[in-house]
Amino acid sequence: MATVAIVVSCEAAGADRSYALDLEAAAEEYTVPLTWLIHASPADPMSNIKLYHTEYLHRIPSWHEIGLLAGFEGSHGHIEGERERIEAICLGKDLMKQCHVKPTCIRAVRDDLRATDLKQLESLGFIVAIAGPVEPCTGHVPGHPSPGAAPYHPSYQDINTEGDSSILVASVASGHGVCGDLQHGWAAIRPILEGAGPDAVVVLSVADTADRAADLREALGFCRARGDRFATATALAG
């Protein structure tokens, strides 16, 4: 059986609405834990954290996971400097701590995680980092399904190669030129799951700003019928 983890990008502050509770209800039907990644950025440090702390986090069962979706946007645009990036990660961690959450899973907005971030992630207690798909996903093109590379520990010099970091990098699945994001709909995601072997680790993603609860139900039902195992992101390190 494959191991499937589903991460939810939570950045509904300023959006029309959040479908977090619809996604949570779909997961409850199949008793599947989701990994909720709460966005925090130096450009707007509080509004998103406040929204989820007030409206949603207390409604998510304790056997789900709450992680950090780190944004590297500042008042003057995208943050490039190593020190400023470290400060952005620390800010996100501290803000979640104020909400009584100690995240051990992180994903960077636009999958902008770098090798120079790794030691800081380790010192802050992060265990797993979610990365983008390992193949280009610019549209639905012919090809063979590929769940993506197996999780690995990266190098401190090159985050895309194996090395000595204690952080486990798990990539979002991909196949047929489509990444494993439920925004593409169940019909596009199904071939990715069908191509997953019995020992594969498959990471799917979804944003709570779009109504994708029906697609999530389809994916969960398919995986449950096949006997796949579900895990939170951090549990992948086990």
Please give the C-alpha separations between residue 71 and each of 94, 136, 193, in angstroms, as whole numbers: 14, 22, 29
Question: What pLDDT, on the 0 to 100 scale, is given for residue 141?
Answer: 39
Q: Percent of the chain having pLDDT more than 70?
A: 94
Structure confidence by residue, pLDDT tens digits, 186-223: 999 999 999 998 899 999 999 999 999 999 999 999 99
Question: What pLDDT, on the 0 to 100 scale, is given for residue 145?
Answer: 44
Q: Are 34 and 182 in contact (CB under 8 A)?
A: no
Question: What pLDDT, on the 0 to 100 scale, is given for residue 146?
Answer: 46
Name the fold adopted by 3-237. Answer: TIM Barrel (3.20.20)
Report pTM. Answer: 0.94
Question: What pLDDT, on the 0 to 100 scale, is given for residue 139?
Answer: 44
User: What does the alpha-carbon distance between residue 54 and residue 31 come to, in Å, rounded to a whole number?
Assistant: 24
User: What does the alpha-carbon distance between residue 194 and residue 64 come to, in Å, rounded to a whole number?
Assistant: 25
> Hey, which residues does 5 pair with through a beta bridge?
203
- Consecutive 10-residue averages of pLDDT for the chain (238 residues): 96 94 98 97 93 95 97 85 93 93 95 94 97 65 52 94 95 88 95 92 96 98 97 96
Question: What pLDDT, on the 0 to 100 scale, is given for residue 238?
Answer: 86
